[in-house]
Amino acid sequence: MTGTPAADRPSVLFVCVHNAGRSQMAAAFLTHLAGDAVEVRSAGSAPADTVNPAVVEAMSEVGIDISAETPKVLTTEAVQASDVVITMGCGDTCPVFPGKTYLDWQLDDPAGQGMAAVRPIRDEIEHRIRTLLADLRVVPGA
């Protein structure tokens, strides 16, 4: 699927409150596993100033560098441009548009947590991303 025009690629938006933990990990795993076969976005309803350092470290442990990522604000345009919107604890702040697929992933918030708490969240997100790829019919690394 490499080189597929953007219109033919599924697009996924991950949303959490601060865009500093869960949504950053999910976006990084999807980008890492799908390459350019999926258009990936992440945003927060109330973005933090920086990505959670424990999340950066946890992702580094699995060979994914997100140290240059910055939290982004959720926009109506980002939702409109996405086929799948996955929320992670942002409540009702995400705008809803007809024709989109909405999923709500109940995941612990890594904010203020140490590595021992962040690792299982990271691993659960990776598992869910692999399931999402199968649902989107995207072969990891293809």
Q: How many CB atoms lie within 10 A of CB 38?
A: 22
Catalytic annotation on 90? Answer: yes
The DSSP element (H or E) to which 32 belongs, if any, is helix 22-34
Q: Give yes or no for a contact between 100 and 85, defined as CB atoms under 8 angstroms apart.
A: yes
Catalytic residue among 94, 121, 129, 136: 94
Catalytic residue among 17, 30, 90, 136: 90
User: How far is the C-alpha of 90 from the C-alpha of 107, rounded, in Å?
Assistant: 11
Catalytic annotation on 26? Answer: no
Catalytic annotation on 47? Answer: no
β-pair type (101-104, 39-44): unpaired
The residues, any chain, with a CB within 8 Å of residue 114's CB and separated by 6 or more, are 54
User: How far is the C-alpha of 15 from the C-alpha of 47, rounded, in Å?
Assistant: 10
Catalytic residue among 12, 16, 26, 58: 16
Please name every residue paired with 14 in a beta bridge, in sequence order, or none if there are none. Answer: 42, 86
Which positions are catalytic?
A: 16, 90, 94
